[in-house]
Amino acid sequence: MIKLAIYGKGGIGKSTVSCNISSALAAKGLTVMQIGCDPKADSTALLHGGERIPTVLETLREKGKAMKLEDVVYKSSGGVLCVEAGGPIPGLGCAGRGIINALEHLEKFGANEVYKPDVIIYDVLGDVVCGGFSMPMRRGYADKVFVVASGEKMARYAAANICMAVENFRSRGYSSLGGIILNRRDVENEDEAVAQLAADFDTEVIGAIDRSTEISSADDRGEAIVLTKPGSKSAAQFMAVAQRVYDICRTSKGDRYA
């Protein structure tokens, strides 16, 4: 089993990237579980026609000890097992603590043993890299962290903060940095700026997604483009990124490619 986390600032397109990577890997016959670790609970919406699924935290509030795994794990039409951690009631509680609570409950219920995923993808809001938002970086969760960035200044700033957090946690035996995924926004010198960001942290840009109205339209329809337009250029780019992510994670675990 490989486990990875995808981080990026709000609005950078990390959930679009995560959903398309999940769909691409599931299409290869792998059992994939995507866990949304954003209080907005919209990580997996593209896998369910734009609809949000019930979250772990809201289900816990509703059912308490009666909650079962099948109440919070939903299989998409493309075969991806989807979970949303969720967040506290607005104005009450800590979103970071909520993520910790949700992940601990999935572990308690033995989600990995029940569903036996080949790949687990944590989709994490990256504007904050403390508390529960750093949980997927910790021992026993993700083995590799991939950061979605563009050439925009704030996206690069957030990506740098995430990379620094990964470096700090790595000294404790936690996740290591797998690379940067460039989600282009067509700003000046974008490729060069993101390549320099990667070099600053001794990593690489593992793939790039061009800005595309096809992707935007698919997002608006609540669709993963690798499933609805598999022959498109955008789908090919997502599939190439998915394969690269998979290969990096497999290599780091010393496994041979299937």
State the maximum Cα–Cα separation within the chain, in Å, rounded to a whole number. 54
Measure the CA–CA gap between 204 and 196, rounded to whole angstroms.
9
Q: How far is CA 29 from the centre of its chain?
A: 19
**116 a catalytic residue:** no
Nearest CA to 180 out of 148, 158, 209 is that of: 148
User: CB–CB of 22/80 below 8 Å?
Assistant: yes
**9 a catalytic residue:** yes
Return the amino acid letter for 214. E
SS3 189: coil
Give phi and psi for 200, each to the nearest 5: -60, -25
Catalytic residue among 75, 118, 127, 229: 127
Going from the C-alpha of 205 to that of each of 173, 191, 240, the distances in angstroms are 23, 9, 13
Catalytic residue among 9, 123, 144, 219: 9
**14 a catalytic residue:** yes
Measure the CA–CA gap between 189 and 191, rounded to whole angstroms.
6
Catalytic residue among 3, 14, 123, 144: 14
Measure the CA–CA gap between 108 and 65, rounded to whole angstroms.
12
Residue bearing tokens 């960001």: 197
Give phi and psi for 181, each to the nearest 5: -105, 120
**40 a catalytic residue:** yes
C-alpha count within 13 angstroms, C-beta hemisphere, residue 249: 24
Catalytic residue among 28, 40, 75, 229: 40
Nearest CA to 36 out of 90, 78, 74 is that of: 74
Mind telling me the catalytic residues?
A: 9, 14, 40, 127
